[in-house]
């Protein structure tokens, strides 16, 4: 006997009730029963597709979606839903194709525009994402989701004022738009308006006090405001809600490290391997992680440990010191270091390293692996246990400088790694050294390499004012060869600071106000390098007073006049 219309309505109602209660198995059985009699029942097909998505049976969900499209080819919602399924499976091209179909069917279908924008956002194609979302706003100027997404895109594009404006508009349209408060708080932090950021994140928490992300954002605002204990408490709340929240663990780590709490900090710092930014390295060098991670209780006789690098040049120079006590404890353990090519000649001079290989060559055989920057965690080292002595040995200079016998010879660096997040804040112009250019008692030598080395010509600085050594400095051993011949190095927070410090050379490091964790908070010295002196900004982004103090320190160090005396 066929199912009559009243029976169909009853069965459909029963299926819906089960579906809403979360009984997917029971609902699915009733949906299939209905489809045996009414194969084109669209509400059932839609609901069944939704269940398969929940169950992650994506092939079945997509098959049902295609059937729905064959019945309703002008419904933008089904194309959009298909796109979301494809996106979930990682098939981004197909997802984009179906979102585009949704827009083609209905040029005002805002959901699809947002999904396309988010796809571009995830691919870091921020310009494309902005274009799509701006087009969506032409159709729906007050759609809060679009405004929030566009604000996030502008934020990543560093168009902070534009981000602020669209997010403020989202809140003006709907004061309950939680995402707008979250994104606006992040933007305010970028603009240096940390109290405004704090207010936004507190507001977001009022809407959702169980959000780990909201607590993490709050913590970052506290950190900017130098309320470090409050930041730690907020990070801990985020982790209590989501124990696997890698970014919260990592930010907690850098907060501990900034405060000099190294044992807790380096423990949390291990969470960096769970961060999304680390996935390409873990994938590219996955052969490394197939080997056991080194531990003190493993056999070492006849074994090789690969110490690999995963961050910048300066980080490796700073942390390779911990390979020396490791070698002292396990003299029979063969220490093989993997690093980027420019570091290889320098690290080959270290007596406690047995072998050095470049990332670009085969690592060869090894038994264990460990990250160079994880060595402090391996030792459980505290700040007080850092040994600041030089550990890069004296070597014969491979580059000979023409030095004036009675002048002070000073090496300069003003740039940094362009891949670093804080690059624009760390660097300054070589013109800041102008009072030294023609000084009768000083000769200047540029140790700057890379794109920033071009600043000399761009600023009209000639060889008589600063000798440009960049063509010769093709690796760190050559740079070390030059540094050995100098009296002093003055540098931005970059790899040369660590190189000079590790050599025991007098080095003055010029820091932005919110300096990296390794330089601590206020002191002029550092536990990492005994002959280093720190000059910190008193106001973020302002270098003039930093250089005034540098010139004053030079006057005191060498008993010379640099700055004209100010008339009171």
CATH of the domain at 90: 1.25.40.10
Compute the distance between CA of residue 460 and CA of residue 494 in angstroms, rounded to an integer.
24
Domain boundary among 12, 32, 54: 54
Count CB-CB contacts under 10 A for residue 26. 15
Q: Is residue 305 domain-resident?
A: yes
Strands ordered across the beta sheet of 334-339: 355-358, 334-339, 304-308, 368-371
Shared domain for 502 and 488, answered yes or no, is yes
Q: Is residue 238 domain-resident?
A: yes
CATH of the domain at 551: 3.40.50.2000
Compute the distance between CA of residue 449 and CA of residue 171 in angstroms, rounded to an integer.
46
Shared domain for 68 and 38, answered yes or no, is no
Residue-level pLDDT at 567 = 43
* 281-282-284 Cα angle (round to 5): 60
Q: Which range marks the domain in which residue 304 is found?
A: 285-385
Shared domain for 90 and 196, answered yes or no, is yes
Shared domain for 469 and 441, answered yes or no, is yes
Domain count, the chain: 4
Residue-level pLDDT at 271 = 97
Q: Is residue 466 domain-resident?
A: yes
Residue-level pLDDT at 23 = 81
Shared domain for 345 and 236, answered yes or no, is no
Residue-level pLDDT at 1 = 37
Q: Is residue 322 domain-resident?
A: yes
SS3 of the chain: helix, strand, coil, percent, to 5? 55, 10, 35
CATH of the domain at 305: 3.40.50
Contacts of residues 466-475 at CB distance under 8 Å and 24 or more positions apart, as own/partner, are: 466/412, 466/430, 466/433, 466/437, 467/443, 469/399, 469/445, 470/446, 472/399, 473/447, 473/449, 474/342, 475/341, 475/342, 475/343, 475/344, 475/345, 475/346
Shared domain for 45 and 62, answered yes or no, is no
Q: Is residue 269 domain-resident?
A: no
Say what percent of the chain tops pLDDT 90: 80
Domain boundary among 317, 351, 385: 385
Domain boundary among 36, 54, 72: 54
Region for residue 541 given its phi and psi (left: phi exceeds 0; alpha: psi -120 to 50; beta: otherwise): left
Residue-level pLDDT at 37 = 81
Q: Is residue 564 domain-resident?
A: no
Shared domain for 48 and 68, answered yes or no, is no
Shared domain for 356 and 452, answered yes or no, is no
Q: Is residue 268 domain-resident?
A: no
Helices and strands, counts by H and E, the chain: 27, 10
> Is residue 156 exposed (0-12), middle (13-18) or buried (19+ Cβ within 10 Å)?
middle
Residue-level pLDDT at 421 = 63
pLDDT digits (tens, 9 = 90+) for 370-392: 999 999 999 999 999 999 999 99
Spatial CB neighbours of 381, under 8 Å, sequence gap ≥ 6: 262, 263, 266, 322
Shared domain for 369 and 446, answered yes or no, is no
pLDDT tens per residue across all 568 residues of the chain: 344 454 777 877 887 887 888 887 887 788 788 888 888 888 888 888 888 888 898 998 899 889 889 999 999 999 999 999 999 999 999 999 999 999 999 999 999 999 999 999 999 999 999 999 999 999 999 999 999 999 999 999 999 999 999 999 999 999 999 999 999 999 999 999 999 999 999 999 999 999 999 999 999 999 999 999 999 999 999 999 999 999 999 999 999 999 999 999 999 999 999 998 888 888 888 899 999 999 999 999 999 999 999 989 999 999 999 999 999 999 999 999 999 999 999 999 999 999 999 988 889 999 999 999 999 999 999 999 999 999 999 888 789 998 999 999 999 999 987 666 666 788 999 999 999 999 999 999 999 999 999 999 999 999 999 999 999 999 999 999 999 999 999 999 999 999 999 999 999 999 999 999 999 999 999 999 999 999 999 998 999 999 999 999 999 999 999 987 654 4
Residue-level pLDDT at 423 = 67
Shared domain for 225 and 79, answered yes or no, is yes
Q: What is the pTM of this model?
A: 0.88
Shared domain for 85 and 210, answered yes or no, is yes
Q: Where are the beta strands (DSSP E) in 287-441?
A: 304-308, 334-339, 355-358, 368-371, 408-413
Shared domain for 178 and 101, answered yes or no, is yes
Q: Is residue 374 domain-resident?
A: yes
């Amino acid at each position: 006997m066929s199912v009559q219309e009243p029976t169909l309505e009853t069965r459909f109602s029963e299926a819906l009730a089960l579906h809403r209660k979360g009984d997917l198995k029971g609902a699915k059985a009733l949906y299939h029963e209905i489809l045996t009699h009414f194969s084109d029942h669209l509400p059932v097909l839609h609901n069944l597709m939704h269940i398969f998505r929940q169950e992650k049976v994506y092939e079945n969900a997509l098959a049902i979606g295609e059937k729905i499209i064959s019945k309703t080819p002008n419904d933008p919602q089904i194309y959009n839903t298909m796109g979301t399924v494809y996106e979930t499976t990682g098939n981004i091209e197909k997802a984009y194709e179906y979102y585009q179909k949704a827009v083609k069917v209905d040029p005002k279908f805002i959901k699809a525009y947002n999904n396309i924008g988010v796809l571009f956002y995830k691919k870091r194609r921020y310009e494309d994402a902005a274009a799509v979302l701006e087009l969506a706003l032409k159709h729906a100027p007050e759609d809060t989701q679009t405004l929030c997404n566009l604000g996030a895109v502008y934020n990543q594009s560093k168009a902070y004022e534009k981000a602020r404006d669209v997010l403020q508009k989202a809140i003006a349209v709907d004061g309950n738009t939680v995402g707008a408060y979250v994104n606006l708080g992040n933007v305010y932090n970028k603009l240096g308006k940390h109290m405004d950021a704090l207010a936004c994140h507190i507001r977001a928490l009022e809407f959702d006090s169980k959000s780990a992300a909201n607590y993490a954002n709050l913590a970052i605002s506290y950190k900017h405001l130098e309320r470090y204990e409050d930041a730690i408490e907020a990070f801990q709340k985020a982790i209590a809600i989501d124990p696997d929240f890698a970014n919260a663990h990592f930010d907690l780590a850098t907060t501990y490290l900034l405060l000099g709490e190294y044992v807790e900090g380096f423990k949390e710092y291990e969470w960096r391997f769970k961060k999304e930014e680390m996935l390409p390295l873990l994938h590219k060098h996955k052969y490394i992680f197939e080997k056991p991670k080194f531990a003190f209780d493993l056999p070492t006789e006849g074994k090789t440990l690969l110490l690999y690098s995963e961050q910048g040049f300066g980080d490796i120079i700073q942390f390779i010191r911990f390979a020396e006590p490791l070698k002292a404890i396990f003299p029979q353990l063969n220490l093989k270091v993997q690093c980027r090519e420019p570091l290889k000649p320098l690290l080959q001079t270290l007596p406690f390293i047995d072998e050095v290989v470049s990332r670009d060559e085969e690592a060869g055989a090894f038994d264990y692996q460990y990250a160079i920057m994880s060595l402090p965690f391996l030792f459980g080292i505290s700040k007080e246990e850092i040994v600041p002595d030089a550990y890069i040995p004296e070597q014969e200079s491979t580059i000979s400088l023409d030095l004036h016998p009675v002048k002070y010879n000073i090496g300069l660096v003003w740039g940094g790694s362009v891949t670093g997040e804080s690059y624009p804040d760390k660097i300054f112009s070589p013109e800041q050294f102008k009072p030294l250019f023609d000084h009768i008692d000083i000769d200047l030598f540029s140790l700057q390499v890379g794109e920033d080395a071009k600043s000399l010509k761009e600023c009209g600085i000639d060889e008589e004012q600063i000798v440009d050594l960049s063509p010769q400095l093709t690796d760190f051993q050559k740079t070390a060869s030059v540094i050995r011949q100098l009296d002093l190095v003055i540098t931005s927070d970059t790899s040369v600071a660590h190189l000079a410090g590790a050599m025991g050379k007098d080095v003055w490091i010029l820091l932005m106000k919110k300096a990296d964790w390794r330089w601590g908070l206020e002191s002029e010295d550092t536990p990492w390098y005994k002959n280093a002196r720190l000059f910190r900004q008193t106001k973020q982004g302002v270098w003039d007073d930093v250089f005034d103090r540098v010139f004053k320190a030079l006057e005191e160090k060498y008993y010379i006049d640099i700055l004209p005396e100010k008339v009171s």
